[in-house]
Amino acid sequence: MRIALCGGTGDIGEGLALRWAYDTDHEVLIGSRDPEKARTKAQEYETELDSRGVDRTVKGFANEMAADRADVVVLAVPPYYVRDTVEGFAGRLDGDTVLVSPAVGMQRDDAGLHYHPPSEGSVTAVAAAAAPDEVAVVGAFHNLSAGRLANLDVELDQDTLLVGDDEDAVDIVRMLAAEIEGLRPLYAGPVANAAEIESLTPLLINLAKYNDELHDAGVQFG
């Protein structure tokens, strides 16, 4: 599979890019608003993998080009820009492309972070509304710590919750998530259930703020 990480120059994009490149044979494309920045970051990721004896090619492109080439497109951008990012390449997506939304709307005050969903109910729903009708959207990876993902020395040992209305698309993302060592995907229902998953992320960040030992915390169910 060819996986594009739009905004793959940022934290969660880096973590997912490194894990997929390290643990799988899927092709990883880094997307950015600035193709030069994407190429520079892609080279950094290659260098990191090379230092661990893994010879992988990671390519960088403008977001639109990366999305155009990919089977699966992860929207690894801040929540407020998810709609514009999808609309920026919607015309280039075909019906087989799967969009993945890890984004979470949050607001910060002195106490910590608070869930702040958009009027659509969740950022996953925003992505679904912005995507062409024939393109399926799956919410995933919301509750993972980018720092933990990007540190390949650390065993993940975490769950990731998936939401999506299209069974085939959910199966594809479930397979890609399961191929990351130490990550267990769990299906949590249709996109209408995304807010419950997204709202766990500020809780995890608040736990990290008040408990040193929970830095980079995630979720595990059982």
Ligand X SMILES: NC(=O)c1ccc[n+]([C@@H]2O[C@H](COP(=O)([O-])OP(=O)(O)OC[C@H]3O[C@@H](n4cnc5c(N)ncnc54)[C@H](OP(=O)(O)O)[C@@H]3O)[C@@H](O)[C@H]2O)c1
The answer to whether the beta carbons of residues 29 and 37 sit under 8 Å apart is no
Integer Cα distance of 181 and 4 in angstroms = 20
| Residue number with CB closer to ligand X (104 or 125) | 104
Report if residue 32 touches ligand X, rule: CB under 6 A: yes
Report if residue 11 touches ligand X, rule: CB under 6 A: yes
Instruction: Locate 189 and state its tokens.
Output: 């229902």
Report if residue 102 touches ligand X, rule: CB under 6 A: yes
| Residue number with CB closer to ligand X (12 or 135) | 12
Report if residue 158 touches ligand X, rule: CB under 6 A: no
| Residue number with CB closer to ligand X (41 or 134) | 41
Choosing from 76, 161, 170, 195, the residue that interacts with ligand X (CB under 6 A) is 76
Report if residue 218 touches ligand X, rule: CB under 6 A: no
Q: With contacts defined by CB under 6 A, name the span among 113-121, 144-152, 165-173, 177-185 that binds ligand X.
A: 144-152
118-142 core/surface letters (b: 16 or more CB in 10 A; e: else): bebbbbbbbbbebbeeebbbbbbbb
- Taking each helix axis from N to C end, the angle separating 82-89 and 123-130, rounded to the nearest 10 degrees, works out to 20
Residue 149's alpha-carbon distances to 57, 73, 82, 133, in angstroms, are 19, 18, 21, 32
164-185 core/surface letters (b: 16 or more CB in 10 A; e: else): bebeebbbbbbebbebbeebbb
Report if residue 85 touches ligand X, rule: CB under 6 A: yes
Choosing from 5, 7, 126, 218, the residue that interacts with ligand X (CB under 6 A) is 7
| Residue number with CB closer to ligand X (170 or 208) | 208
| Residue number with CB closer to ligand X (137 or 146) | 146
Report if residue 9 touches ligand X, rule: CB under 6 A: yes
Q: Which amino acid is at 128?
A: A
Report if residue 73 touches ligand X, rule: CB under 6 A: no
